[in-house]
Amino acid sequence: MSDIYKAPEAQLTTGEESGSYGSLERGMAGDYAISIGEIFSEAWRRTKGNKGTIWLALILYVIAFVIVSFVAGMITGYSAFDIEQQASVSFGSMISYQVLVNLVAAPLTAGMMMIGIKIARDEKTSATEVFAHFDKLLPLVVANIILSILVTVGMFLLVLPGIYLAVAYMLTLPLIVDQNLGPWRALETSRKAITKHWFAFFGFLIVAILLYLAGALPLLIGLIWVLPLLAIAFGIVYRNIFGGPEQA
């Protein structure tokens, strides 16, 4: 029998417990924190037992991307792997090639992101998650095109606006597949949420880049651990900002 006179015990939560996950509302309000050390510490713990899944997904991603690039090159006459040939094709062929590749790259990239996010949320996932979001093909591609245009325009406007948008839009694709948002709403949700802590998010990205470079230096061997670490760390950041679909 419980003691009704006993003082209530405090329920302390950490970033690894669902009670402290974010939500769309909290994310857009800036009600979250980015602690780089805690994020990478948790990500390192979660790599145990998940490295194989992430690496198999990466292999599937690369194979699919190479096949699509080859087929798109056959159709358009443009090859991303032949620099000399690129100089002889028309601008229209290059644009057609980019559009065809983007049709597959967008859902593949969203799938890779969702693997890290699901691991961060203790949800069931597998390497085939990389192919699981072609049902959102249209909104993903539209969002990618809008994102690319806005970032490119921003780069022409003294560079800094482009850097700001490139960072601010980084959570767009998972918002479309995870929270079922439309392209523009996903772009704006990502931008508004990240803008609240833009420099902290940018710092997280700088650390991620440095870790990647450090892992690539010793004959790429370190990437065996670094790439899964980064995938899960990204998932933790998304989880802490936006939580899960049940909170949409």
3-state secondary structure of 208: helix
Q: Among 17-21, 152-156, 161-165, 210-214, which is the least confidently predicted range?
A: 17-21
**Torsion angle of alpha carbons 216, 121, 38, 191, nearest 10°?**
80
212 burial via Cβ count (<10 Å: 0-12, 13-18, 19+)? middle
What pLDDT does 102 receive? 85
pLDDT > 90: percent of the chain: 69
Residue 103's pLDDT is 86
- Determine contact, residues 172/106, Cβ cutoff 8 Å: no
Rounded to an integer, the average pLDDT of 49-61 is: 97
Q: Is the dihedral of CA 16, 34, 241, 206 positive or negative?
A: negative
CA distance linking residue 129 with residue 113, whole number of Å: 9
Does residue 193 come out as left (phi exceeding 0), alpha (psi in the -120 to 50 range) or beta? alpha
CA–CA separation, 89 and 79 (whole Å): 9
Which of 104-113, 147-156, 238-247 shows the lowest mean pLDDT across its residues? 238-247
> Hey, how many other C-beta atoms are within 10 angstroms of the C-beta on 172?
26
- How many Cβ atoms are within 10 Å of 170's Cβ, its own excluded? 19
What average pLDDT does this structure show over 145-160?
Answer: 90
Q: How far apart are CA 126 and CA 130, in angstroms?
A: 8
Q: How many residues are there in the chain?
A: 248
Lowest mean pLDDT among 95-109, 120-134, 139-153: 95-109
* Whether pLDDT at 15 is above 80: no
- Regarding predicted confidence, which is higher, 69 or 234? 234
% of the chain beyond a pLDDT of 70 = 88
Q: By the 8 A CB rule, do 75 and 100 touch? A: yes
pLDDT band at 7; cut points 50, 70, 90: very low
Tokens 């998304």 correspond to: 238
Structure tokens at 33: 């924190």
Residue 142 has pLDDT above 80, yes or no: yes
Give the model confidence (pLDDT) of 206-246 as tens digits.
Answer: 999 999 999 998 888 999 999 999 999 999 999 999 997 75
* Least confident interval from 16-20, 35-39, 70-74, 129-133: 16-20
Q: Evaluate if residue 43 carries a pLDDT over 90.
A: yes
Check residue 75 and give its pLDDT: 85
Contact status, residue 235 vs residue 116, Cβ threshold 8 Å: yes
- CA separation for the pair 88, 154 (Å, rounded): 29
